[in-house]
Amino acid sequence: MKKQVLAIALVALAAIACNKKEEDTTPLAVDFEISANPCFAKDEVTFTAKVSGGQTPYTYEWKVGDAVTLEGETASWTPEENGTFIVRLNVSDAKGKTGERAKNLVVNPAEVVATGEVTLLWTAPLQGYTSMTTPAVADDGSIYTVTRDANKLYKIDKDGKKVWEQTVIESPQDGSQILGTPSIDTDGTIYIAGGSKNGDAVLAAFKPDGSLKWRFKDFWAAAGATLSPSINGITAGIGDNNVYIGNCGTTGTIISVAKADGSRVNHMMDSDGKGPSGGARAGILITKDGYACWSGGAYGIFGVPTSVLDTKGDGANWSWRGCYSKQSGWPDGNNSATLAAITVNGKNALVGMQSLKADADLGKEARTKVYAIEVATGEEIANVEIDACAKQDQGGIAITEEGYVIATLKYNLGQADGGIALVDVAQQKMVAHYGVMENVSAAPAIDAAGNILFATETGNFYMVKYNGSEFETLVKVNIADLVGNDSRYAEAYAGLVAMEDGERVGKAKIWSGIVIGDDGTIYVQFTDNNDRTIGGLAAIKVDYTTGPSTVSPWPMMGQNRKHTNRQK
């Protein structure tokens, strides 16, 4: 019996020794979960360890960045600012074995809290996707607009009812889009340029009753080149007798068209028989001293006296090209940011923004700049670089009553470097930045009280006030909530309504500039970003806004609600 007991004891001791040996040799497996990644600054985030192996109990040490140390199987931390932080978990077991796991935690900037009272007057559902086009408001309060892929010009009355729709491109190629913005003449004629596929570009002129006045398709091609015009981001500049447009593609140029009958008056062509590089990506801006100016995208900015374009002929050379040199910073891609006109240190100037390529020789990363060019000479008189923001390939410019240029910005992940920047081009410095982690991809507007209005690709509408030292948020409202939760439009915008569990089904992506009517009505055009097949034009009212600024030299895209693109 004693022998049996001894045998059993020996077996048990052997098993314990075996298990102990197994425990001692099993490596620590260290992992952890993060309650929210990305999270927001000022919001608590929790780290939970997931450890196996080794021998319990475990000791946990957390490192967040270089300065924060935490302990415990579960630890919590509240980031004070945005950025990307390395979170490291070091674990020791009862025998001194260690294991480590590291992860990146992205902390987004704290969101701006929704605030302010906004009244939705009405919304007009529109077919198709809206980008790079902004509604125009006539003297009688009628609104004219287009959507990117519907090939229609819409007239909407001041109560939000659709009056008529007209086809812009007669025979569009498959996938052709309208990327232009309507402009309205003093007699009520509406000009709209469209056709993004090579060969189907057109400038159409419609009367207020919807009847066609004329269609212009007499584009130009250099000798030996195939005529293949396309229109991108163009707002027609309206002169006394002619209207000015530009096209891009291999035969890009600038053309003056007679307002009376739609005939070609003249176009741009250099001594070698070629058009301006890049054609036109934005403009055509008409300055008060008689210059037509436009953006050639990656090829810089161009200018020519309107008198040259107004002279009947078969080609004339432009006067200058600016913002196109290594010293100025090489433009990146097809910049389509809108232009504006201003007086800088007594000089009539053109202002705009460009994305610039990274340049190792200059030690520069990709960045955005705000520039000013003297329109009489093409000399660059201001160059203010905004290093932090993401690449801005369109966006917009407006000018405050104090003469600051408002540049709209896109953001980098985890950074509040989107939003808007105020730039003093006379002093060549950035004055202030209203930062959000949202892309602002269209022009802002200035109201009669000096407030700045803009909207984002996330679907938020903002109104902010700069008091000389900092920004105050007066209004932030989500357009999807405003429109989608209004029972009058529930059927039309079902995809914009929040579900019962709070999950958002869609958002009202805004790629369209803000327009302010004379009565203070604010117009915001948006797209349901679920599938981009339907969008709308919303008319909203805010108590702060009684009308557009009458003091600002350029209070909104195209200078005014009619987008004549002509300096006062």
With a cut of 60, say whether residue 349 has pLDDT above it.
yes
Q: What is the pLDDT of residues 420-444, one digit of tens each?
A: 999 999 999 999 999 999 999 999 9
Q: What is the pLDDT of residue 558?
A: 96
Report residue 470's pLDDT band, with 50, 70 and 90 as the boundaries. Answer: very high
As a whole number, mean pLDDT of residues 257-266 equals 98
DSSP code for 10: H
Decide which of 41 and 506 is more confident: 41
Q: What is the pLDDT of residue 4?
A: 53
Decide which of 101 and 414 is more confident: 101
Average pLDDT of the chain?
Answer: 90
d(CA 519, CA 541): 10
Evaluate whether 176 touches 158 at the Cβ level (below 8 Å).
no
Evaluate whether 260 touches 189 at the Cβ level (below 8 Å).
no
As a whole number, mean pLDDT of residues 233-250 equals 92
Distance of CA 472 to the CA centre of its chain: 21
Cα dist from 13 to 6, 23, 33, 55, 468, whole Å: 10, 15, 39, 19, 81
Classify domain 26-108 at the CATH topology level: Immunoglobulin-like (2.60.40)
With a cut of 70, say whether residue 388 has pLDDT above it.
yes
Helix (H, G, I), strand (E, B) or coil at 265: strand
Q: What is the pLDDT of residues 372-385, one digit of tens each?
A: 999 999 999 999 99
DSSP assignment of 457-518: TTSEEEEEEE-SSSEEEEEEEEHHHHHHT-GGGTTTTGGGSBPTTS-B---EE--S--EE-T
Q: What is the pLDDT of residue 249?
A: 74
Distance of CA 236 to the CA centre of its chain: 21
With a cut of 50, say whether residue 98 has pLDDT above it.
yes
Report residue 206's pLDDT band, with 50, 70 and 90 as the boundaries. Answer: very high
With a cut of 50, say whether residue 480 has pLDDT above it.
yes
Q: What is the pLDDT of residue 497?
A: 62
The residues near 501 (Cβ < 8 Å, ≥ 6 apart) are none
Amino acid at 296: G
For the CA atoms of 269, 270, 275, 277, what is the dihedral angle to 10 degrees?
Answer: -150
Q: What is the pLDDT of residue 129?
A: 82
Q: Which of 95-104, 170-179, 558-567 is modeled with the greatest confidence? A: 558-567
**Closest alpha carbon to 442 in 527, 363, 359:** 527
CB neighbours of residue 529 within 10 Å: 19
With a cut of 60, say whether residue 496 has pLDDT above it.
yes
d(CA 206, CA 247): 20
With a cut of 70, say whether residue 340 has pLDDT above it.
yes
557's tokens: 């895209």
Q: What is the pLDDT of residue 24?
A: 54
285's tokens: 């801006």
Distance of CA 334 to the CA centre of its chain: 14
Q: Domain map of the chain by residue range?
A: 26-108, 114-132+442-568
259's tokens: 């307002």
CA angle 192, 197, 202 (to 5 degrees): 30
**Closest alpha carbon to 144 in 420, 433, 523, 454:** 523
Q: What is the pLDDT of residue 22?
A: 47
Cα dist from 538 to 11, 106, 118, whole Å: 83, 35, 12
Query: Could you tell me which residues are beta bridge partners of residue 390?
Result: 410
Please tell me the pTM assigned to this model: 0.87
d(CA 455, CA 109): 18
Reported as type and span, the H/E element at residue 23 is helix 2-25
Residue with tokens 């339907």: 534
Beta strands in 65-186 (DSSP E): 68-71, 74-77, 83-92, 98-108, 119-127, 136-137, 143-146, 152-156, 162-167, 183-184
Helix (H, G, I), strand (E, B) or coil at 402: coil
Q: Which of 53-62, 220-229, 408-417 is modeled with the greatest confidence? A: 53-62
Helix (H, G, I), strand (E, B) or coil at 6: helix
Q: What is the pLDDT of residue 95?
A: 92
